[in-house]
Each structure stands twice: as structure tokens, then as C-alpha cells.
Amino acid sequence: MFNNELLLNVTPQAVSKWENGNSLPDTALLPLLGKLLGVSIDRLLTGNNLLAMEQVSPYDKEYEKEEYYWGLQHSVLAEQVVRIMQGDSRLEKRILDIGSGEGRDAIFFAKGDYIVDALELSKPGIEKIKHYSHLTGCNINIIHANMIGYDIIEFYDVVYSMGSLQFLPPEQRRKHFDKYKQHTRTGGINAHLVFVEKPFIEVAPDWQRNEYLYTSGDLAGYYHDWEIIQCEEKIVDCNSASIPHQHAVNYIIAKNHGGSFS
């Protein structure tokens, strides 16, 4: 991107730490850094890291097509979340849908009277969400941001993701899951589905270079201090990229009963 030693007088190791979210630039560097990147200092301080500023999704080309890449049918996990939350007495339930894609689950939650914040990086995906929400008459609050570096401000009854958290680099996962937990109200739930590495299953044909598989037990480990309502690992068939293949997936639904976070 630029010769950091000449222009900023910092080492490549320092830049790597910034990009991985392990440290932040010295405030004295912000004016020059903003000038080099062509962004304001305000944007540098909004919680989006350097990688998040490159608002490009690997699914952009697929989402630009007229058909919906993931279809319009909501996921089984979304249905399970709604069923579990039916006993919650709060009239308004707020959900953060991380990596909403084209909006199939976000719309499903909105139909169930949830206040939905749909976090999505892909601009074509966001246009699909807008179109779908208009057709269904559902109100969706769309957040155009990268999940890496996005600073969660609100507190939610549900923090949800469906197959999107493989874009979290392994060394950053702990802090992200802690953030999801810390921004979940007492009595609320987190629900996630991730892809798991298995030696007998080939990597999917549409797998991206910046996607990282989980290992068995990872999700349960992140939620060991919560009530784990459901946690299951299974093999599923998939036809994304129009090529039949399989995935090993692990999903979890965990409830916050209050207390400290690890």
C-alpha cells in the first residue's frame, strides 16, 4: 500500500499489528496516516480498522446477479432462535445479524417483529436486502461495515450469525466473541453457525482466501460461562457456486444469565 518505513517511520511489524487489531497507531501519526489513506481522522477513530476500510466483499459478484445466491428461505437456525425467544416477555426484541448477506434471515426476524440491525459488508448484498425488505414491507436497519473492527454500541436481545464468522482471523476470535457477549442483555441469546475443519471433507469450491475454518468445540469454549441451550455438529450438503459439495458445521445457541465474561 505504501512504503511505511519512509513515509511513517514505522516498521512492517507495527503495520501488521494495526491490521490485525492487536495495537493502534500513535495519535501523532493519525494526520499523516489519514492523508496517505485518503480518509479523515474521524474515520480512523470510528472503530473500523485498516482492513475494514476496504469495503469489498468476496460475494459482491454473486450478489450482483438477479437471483439470490443464498435463496429467500430463512435458515433453520433463525427459526430455532425465534422459537426459543417466544418466552421472552419483552415487547420489542433487538437483534444484530452479523453478515446478513442478501437478507433472508434478517427479513425473517423483522417479520417476527424484531428490531433488526443487519451488518453487511457487500454493497450489492445491501441492495438485495433493501429490495427484499421493500417487497415484504419490513423495516431493516442496515449497517454497511466490516465485522472486523466494527464497534458495537447497542445492546441486543440476540446476537446472530449464519456462516459468516469464518472471516474472523483465528487470533481475533476471542475478543470478538467476548464483544458479542458483552453486548447481549441478560436473558438474551447468541446464536452462531460456523464451518468446521474435517480431514475427510474437501474445501468448498467457493471458499475464499480470507476464510478460516473452526475446530470442533471452539464455539462451546467461547460460551462455557453461559447456558448452552443447543450445540450440535453435523455434515450438511450445499450447492453454492452451483457445485454440489459438503460442509461440516457447528452451531450453538447460548443464553446469558448475567455475570462476568472470560
Domains and CATH numbers, the chain: 9-44 (no CATH), 60-255 (3.40.50.150)
Determine the Cα–Cα distance for residues 180 and 155; give it in Å rounded to an integer.
9
DSSP 32: H
Average pLDDT, the chain: 85
Determine the Cα–Cα distance for residues 60 and 36; give it in Å rounded to an integer.
26
The model's confidence at residue 236, banded by pLDDT at 50, 70 and 90, is: confident
The string of DSSP letters for 133-146 reads: HHHHT--EEEEES-
Looking at residue 202, its pLDDT comes to 85
Determine the Cα–Cα distance for residues 209 and 196; give it in Å rounded to an integer.
16
The tens digit of pLDDT for each residue in 18-61 reads 666 666 677 667 777 665 665 555 556 655 444 444 456 788 98
Q: Indicate the residue type of 121.
A: L
Alpha helices in 21-149 (DSSP H): 30-37, 41-44, 60-63, 76-85, 104-111, 123-136
Looking at residue 4, its pLDDT comes to 46
The tens digit of pLDDT for each residue in 93-132 reads 999 999 999 999 999 999 999 999 999 999 999 999 999 9
Looking at residue 104, its pLDDT comes to 96
Buried (b) or exposed (e) across 201-217, using 16+ Cβ within 10 A? eeebebbeeebbbbeee
Determine the Cα–Cα distance for residues 68 and 246; give it in Å rounded to an integer.
20
Whether 52 and 145 have beta carbons less than 8 Å apart is answered as yes
User: Sheet harboring 114-120: ordered strands across?
Assistant: 140-144, 114-120, 93-98, 156-162, 184-196, 245-255, 227-238
- Say what the pTM is: 0.77
Determine the Cα–Cα distance for residues 61 and 124; give it in Å rounded to an integer.
8
Whether 105 and 115 have beta carbons less than 8 Å apart is answered as no
Average pLDDT of span 228-249? 86
Residue 251 has pLDDT above 50, yes or no: yes
Looking at residue 161, its pLDDT comes to 98
Looking at residue 198, its pLDDT comes to 92
Q: Is 9 or 76 the better-scoring residue by pLDDT?
A: 76
DSSP 224: T
Cβ count near 58 (within 10 Å): 15
The tens digit of pLDDT for each residue in 130-172 reads 999 999 999 999 999 999 989 999 999 999 999 999 999 999 9
Percent of all residues in the chain with a pLDDT value above 90, rounded to a whole number: 60
Percent of all residues in the chain with a pLDDT value above 70, rounded to a whole number: 78
Looking at residue 2, its pLDDT comes to 44
- Half-sphere exposure at residue 152, Cβ-oriented, CA atoms within 13 angstroms: 23
